[in-house]
Amino acid sequence: MIKRLIINADDFGFSRSVTDGILHAHRAGILTSTTLMATMPDCDRALEISQNNPSLGVGIHLCLTQGTPRSGKLRYLVSGDNQFPRKIWQLLNRIELNRKALDEAKAEWAAQIEYALKRAVRPTHLDSHKHIHHWPALSQIATDLARQYHISRIRCADEISISGTPKLSAGYRALRFLARKLKRQCAGSNLRSTDWFFGLAATGKFSAAVWRCLLAQLPAGTGEVMVHPGYCTDLDTGSTRLTTQRQSELDGLCDSALITEINQYAVDNKIQRVHFGQL
Give the rounded percent of residues in the chain with a pLDDT score beyond 90: 85
One-letter amino acid for residue 152 of the chain: S
- Is the pLDDT score of 192 beyond 80? yes
Break the chain into its structural domains and give their ranges. 3-278
More confident residue, 266 or 4: 4
Let me know how long the chain is.
279
- In single-letter form, the type of residue at position 99 comes to R
What is the residue-averaged pLDDT of the chain?
94
Output the pLDDT for position 269: 86
Mean pLDDT of 114-127: 97
**Of the listed ranges 36-40, 76-80, 117-121, 144-148, the one predicted with least confidence:** 76-80
Mean per-residue pLDDT, 37-59: 97
Higher pLDDT, 21 or 263: 21
Is the full-model pTM beyond 0.85?
A: yes
| Fold (topology level) of 3-278 | TIM Barrel (3.20.20)
pLDDT at 213 over 80: yes
The whole-angstrom separation of Cα 226 and Cα 223 is 10
